Structure 1
Amino acid sequence: MDTDTISKPHERLADLLAGEMGAVNELIRTRMASEHAPRIPEVTAHLVEAGGKRLRPMLTLAAARMFDYPGDHHLRLAATVEFIHTATLLHDDVVDESDKRRGRPTANLLWDNKSSVLVGDYLFSRSFQLMVETGSLRVLDILANASATIAEGEVLQMTAATDLSTNEAIYLQVVRGKTAALFSAATEVGGVIAGASEDQVKALFDYGDALGVAFQIADDLLDYQGDSAATGKNVGDDFRERKLTLPVIKAVAQATPEEHAFWERAIGRGRQEDGDLDHALNLMAKYGTLAATRSDALGWAVRAKASLDVLPDHEIRTLLRDLADYVVSRLN
């Protein structure tokens, strides 16, 4: 690895957890197999092997490692978390009518919507089988709740995305559902299975929650000021898709009647014209909403780091702190 790569905390975490992550990947390959429906492993492999960072399962392994967990249930839980994540991606791409994911064609484009939805359902079922194998009702409760929260967040986003009355509280609820719920569940179950104290389990939950919120706010901000080559998205994709994210919500809240009419036409009714994205960016600059959104993301990263204080002094804790800085370092 070059020094730039090794300096990234998720790469260092992957290096540290390589042995366990290998076992998790093997478990994923085994459990996504299907004797009767070969399309299931075909569709799953397309997404699972697309080269994602595997951040969520790594968080589960990291939390268990921090408490020197000697068993192997954390491997099942890490695979569970990845299956839940993959299932939601398959469903999301159908809902969003996406044709690209991590720079590759989406499963719904290569196969069809029916395959994506049904394979997603299969992976959810597999994830619950893995959870049950740990024999922990507490773990089952945490991950079942997270799965429900994710689905709830997606439905809320569908109704709130183009509604100009959507405020920051609703936005945060959506983000907590679609992104932070799985981050917090991933860290929390790692601590639970390893026998961490209640204070420490809560700290792990709080860390995952704040990390997930910071991650999503940063992602939404980069849509308006990111480098397309680095993010894999075109600047303004969210605007073109009429997604009401935090920089726009902040601008709408301060809009004059004339500006509000613009937002209603472009986002609310989706009647976009040439020059609308530039006008939107000018309005965000006028009210400083990109800077305010950046400040919010940094604040959540600080909150994530602060929650780690009650956890053991361990190299994993240092890496988790660096990870919180990293998810917002893209904004500098």
Structure 2
Amino acid sequence: MDKEEPLQKLLDYLAADMAMCNHVIMDKMKSSVDLVSQLAAHLIVAGGKRLRPLLTLASAHLCGYEQDSNDLQPRHVRLAACIEFLHTATLLHDDVIDESMLRRGTDSANAIFGNSASVLVGDFLFARAFQLMTEDGSLKVMRIVSQASATIAEGEILQMTMQNDLSTSVSRYFEVVYGKTAALFAASCRVGALAAECKSQDEEALDVYGTNLGMAFQLVDDALDYSADQEKLGKTVGDDFREGKITYPVLIAYEKADAEEKKFWERVIEKGEQNEEDLLHAFSLIRKHHAIEATLQEAMVFANKACDALAHFPESELRNLFQDIAKYTVNRHF
């Protein structure tokens, strides 16, 4: 099976919903301020997997969402757009913080429009997300999404405090992964379940699925930064290394390192003293200690937990697609 096939199958399954979601996104990105519209257009063209809003839409259907065929902006579609705005806002802010020049294979927004514009348009998208939540009117949706927003910010701050610190524990690293990635995956699934007004057990099962899928997703992202083809990845390989970020592959390589290798990691990560050859040497040490394989094995543990959570639902084509997406997440190349 093509490793991209499960995602494409889910996109095909939800094609009508995603078309409506994209319409809502484009409509809500309109602004009387030209710079906002220009930067928004750049984000739309850049695209992306749109996995988080897909999860919202799919979760609603898995829980039996009944849609009015005459409604051009159904509830689950508007909530999916809300999730995408929130995600895109965090990406804009992350690229500024990380000084990233590439996003999804093209110049990042901050590379084209500057840091100030990216931060402010990110704020604009946060506001749009909360407008959509307010229009939805559910206090439970607002509580879930606002909590996810706070958790994302906490995750990014925690990552910043851990930067360059090789004494970081794996459990602390997982806290960061949950905060910066898994919390929004969980919220994406949960608000889809809420749109369907399903049983609390369904909602909880999808929360578990989303959390574990997000954990797997971020672990694979961290592995790709030390193993991917830059053109396929769509962002600069080795950014985590240059920024001194503590990720699972580094923790594994450092744990297994001999005395000389530990000195290398301490120089390049903790002291931030790097030269042109250091990234390639880091790659070789990552390979030597099979750190990528260990990271992917850990990602598969989380992916399997995500699949296990789906046992709560009766077998169906959509449930199978959810399971395939979890496996695809571990095997993806970008």
Q: Shorter-chain-normalised TM-score: which range?
A: over 0.9
Structure 1: which 5+ runs fail to align?
A: none
- The amino acid across from 1:186 in the alignment is S
* Contact preservation (8 Å) 2:186, 2:206: yes
Q: Indicate which of 190, 193, 196 corresponds to 2:195.
A: 193
Residues 209-231 of structure 1, C-alpha deviations (whole Å, 9 max, x = no match) = 11111111112112222233422
In 2, Cα distance between the equivalents of 1:229 and 1:255? 30
Q: Percent of pairs identical after alignment?
A: 50
The code of the aligned residue for 1:81 comes to I
The reply on whether 1:19 has 2:21 as its aligned counterpart is no
Rounded to whole Å, the distance in 2 between the matches of 1:270 and 1:279 is: 15
Once the two structures are superposed, residues 221-263 of structure 1 have per-residue CA deviations (whole angstroms, 9 ceiling, x without a partner) of 1222223342234553422332221011122234444433221
Q: Is the 8 A contact 1:66 1:312 kept in 2?
A: no
The question of 1:38 aligning with 2:37 is answered: no
In structure 2, the CA distance between the partners of 1:282 and 1:38, relative to structure 1 (3 Å rule), is: closer
Cα distance in 2 for partners of 1:274, 1:103 equals 23
User: What is the alpha-carbon distance in structure 2 between the residues aligned to residue 102 and residue 178 of structure 1?
Assistant: 18
How big is each residue's C-alpha offset from its partner over 1:264-317, in whole Å with a ceiling of 9 and x where there is no partner? 111111111344234333433444322221210111111111111102332211
Q: Distance in 1 between matches of 2:289 and 2:17?
A: 48
Query: C-alpha distance in 1, partners of 2:118/2:41?
Result: 12
**Matched residue SS, 2:272:** coil
CA distance in structure 2 between the aligned counterparts of 1:127 and 1:234, rounded to whole angstroms: 29
1:68-113 C-alpha deviation (Å, 9 max, x unpaired): 2124211110000000011011111111111111111111121121
Task: Name the amino acid aligned to 2:40.
Answer: T
Question: What is the TM-score normalised by the length of structure 2?
Answer: 0.92
1:28: Cα distance to partner? 1.0
The two structures have a TM-score, normalised by structure 1, of 0.92
- 1:48 and 1:86 in contact (8 A); partners too: no
Distance in 1 of aligned mates of 2:26 and 2:293 = 43
Measured on the aligned residues, the alpha-carbon RMSD in Å equals: 1.9
Matches within 5 A, 1:127-166: 127-166=129-168
For 2:124 and 2:251, the matched residues in 1 are separated by 36
Given the superposition, is the C-alpha separation of residues 274 and 234 from structure 1 closer, same or farther in structure 2, using an over 3 Å criterion? same
Counterpart of 1:241 in structure 2 is 243
Hey, what's the Cα distance between the residues in 1 that align with 2:236 and 2:98? 16
Runs of at least 5 residues in structure 2 that lack an aligned partner in the other structure: 68-73
2:271 counterpart (256, 262, 269):
269
Contact kept in structure 1, 2:189 and 2:207, CA below 8 Å: yes
Mapped contact 1:80–1:127 kept (Cα < 8 A): yes
Asked whether the 8 Å contact 2:89–2:122 carries over to 1, the reply is yes
